[in-house]
Structure 1
Amino acid sequence: MNIENFKEIIPPFFWVKHENSCSICLSDLNFQSQIFQSRVDESVEGNGYDWASLASIYVDKQLPEIG
């Protein structure tokens, strides 16, 4: 993967570089909220673990070659 294009291929997520690490953040706080609402009976709340799972699924679908 060409890191130069990374910013263009990950929306609605965005990359934040820190001194010794990086973060992937979500710009649209309502992104896919219907998924969480439809899975309340499975204890899905929309917390950080749920967002991490959603981000993983998103990346797997958009960039399967890095999965």
Structure 2
Amino acid sequence: MDMEEKLKPFIWIEHESGSTSVILNVGTYKNEVFETRAEEGFEGNGYDWGSLAAVFLQERLPDLVDVVRFDPEGSMFCAYSKDREALKQFAIEFKDACEDDALIRDLFSRAELD
């Protein structure tokens, strides 16, 4: 399975500047996770995904906290880095975590509303 298939619905982007990004157009993927905390104000928007990804990064890949950055918007989650391999590691492991319902719900329980 190639990288593009492995990351779906996340999208891998390589920029001419040499940096790389991984984005997600929010609204369909894993909405049920965000619905568990809707009464707290979580909507499943890009900022909520950023909060979830920050918990994942801090707890699961702490060595990448200063390497992988987030730039979410309302309708899109975005992670980026100048270190292609670091972002690749984050993207693959974050997608794998998203596919593990118990794990992603546990991580989300510690996400803070942005």
TM range (shorter): 0.5 to 0.7
Task: State how 1:41-60 maps to structure 2 within 5 Å.
Answer: 41-52=39-50, 53=52, 56=56, 59-60=93-94
TM-score normalized by the length of structure 2: 0.38
Shift of 1:25: 1.8
- Higher relative contact order structure (alpha carbons within 8 Å, sequence separation ≥ 6): 2
Identify the residue that residue 78 of structure 2 maps to in structure 1.
none
Stretches (4+) displaced over 4 A: none
Counterpart of 1:38, as a letter, is: T
Q: How many residues align?
A: 59
- The answer to whether the Cα contact below 8 Å between 2:4 and 2:11 also exists between their aligned partners in 1 is yes
Identify the residue that residue 36 of structure 1 maps to in structure 2.
34
Counterpart of 2:93, as a letter, is: V
Structure 1: runs of 5 or more not aligned:
none
Aligned-residue CA RMSD (Å):
3.2
TM-score normalized by the length of structure 1: 0.55
Identify the residue that residue 26 of structure 1 maps to in structure 2.
24
